[in-house]
Chains A and B, each alone.
Chain A
Amino acid sequence: MAKMIDMLLEWMDTAAEDRARGIAKTSGRRSFLQKAGLALVGGVVLPMLPYDNSNGQAFARGLGEPDELPEDCEYWRYCSLHGSLCSQCGGSVTQCPPGSTPSKVAWVGTCRNPNDDKDYLVSYNDCCGKGGGCGDGCSRQEGDRPGYRYGLASESSWCLANTDRGIHCTVAIVVGLAE
């Protein structure tokens, strides 16, 4: 039992550390100073809990998901995300907040859906034309590559092809099954 508790505590430390790292790292695409304070509180007081989607809620959207999609960074479709979560900014996982415009271009990640154990292509679009930071920072960046593979480059602004280039937050759209 003691060993289990040690393991749990170790896991919580790691999760908190990862969260702090994530928030610091994403600041380039968001407001650094605003989030630096949250990192301290969020990292220590609110370590991330494991996402459990086996809660019996109704499946939706053909992905075996609950009606109410989770808002934490560990959600499966955020596997390559690097930005702020629009679901916490007045939008949703797939909707930009009012007054912002979806980016015309996006980077893509390949994420494993734990509901059906299949890999899906996820399009990460920034929501553009609005300033000010919002939402939790989330920097998982799995599959990220530098700009020589631009379609996988999460370190770019993806509002770069929009007229209105302010970056507000990022959404994650499942666009297909990965081959």
Chain B
Amino acid sequence: MHKFLIRSFVSSLVLIFTLTVAAVAKDVKAAFVYIGPTGDHGWTYQHDVGRKAVEAAGFKTTYVEGVPESADAERVLRQLANSGHDVIFTTSFGYMNPTNKVAKEFPNVKFEHATGYKREHPNVSTYAARFYEGRTILGTIAGTMTKSNVIGYVASFPIPEVIRGINSFTLAAQKVNPNIKTKIVWAFTWYDPGKEAEAAKALIDQGADVIAQHTDSTAIVQIAEKAGVYAFGQASDMDKFAPKAVLTSVENNWGPYYVDRVKAVANGTWSQKDTWHGIGDGMVVISDLDSQMPADLRSKVKKLQADLASGKVHSFTGPIYDQKGNLMVAEGKTADDGMLAGMMTYVKGVEGDIPK
């Protein structure tokens, strides 16, 4: 009798255990933490498109939007980790320290931090996109389409990510048009339609007839539309906001990566990684090319896109000189990832100084 009881008790325990394991393996839940509203049509919007791809792949997802990078981020992360989420994507740089802090307390939850560099615990991965490849395309288009040879560029913060974009853009533009100048206005914001619009106006007043942006709102393309100059969409396809101005957009395509990582969690094959994907892996996508662009430019861009994807062309191929004329990358060489990650000098042809 006694033995029977113990045996049935043990077997039911085993049964419960297998059921739980099976349930966990099937019902992987992913959470996403956003810096802005899902309706920003920029950075957060694209992450949410990626989240929907995860839903479409059959997983449950949760998101919290508008999470400030203040002390609040840590609480949101802990709450998500505590409420049955198996993998948490934190989609802004400022979540770096809270992500690592909470990851330490929840070793069974996987954390994926976008655009950061700290992976202090085995359950933290980082990921980012090689947006500079997209900017090589934009630079090529801008250099060809400009008539005033002045290209405006609304930048957010003087960090390597943004400097790299300015450089890659300028190098590509110079290649097709050695006379161009890139003028920068620092908006010191990632998302502020008012400030971004002011910056765009200032650049147009200075003679820029093509405006590029490294901020997230649609304000700049709308200003460009009104002023009758060209612009490029950022993060998402912004063509519908300014059909005449927008020549193309560089889209952040997180979906494939997100689906991949959530599946890896479900299969138990997730491991720590530092991912930096570009056009080749589909994380950076070039939207449709506008028909205002001449046909030969369009075919040139298509080819460049294919070459960047295959690795035949690298955005930073020497010789590259900085503003003072010092050699940064020698002829025939390409910049390595270390140099790209820490890039804090302008290349020749960019006007002004990096704010210090």
Q: Do A and B make up one complex?
A: no
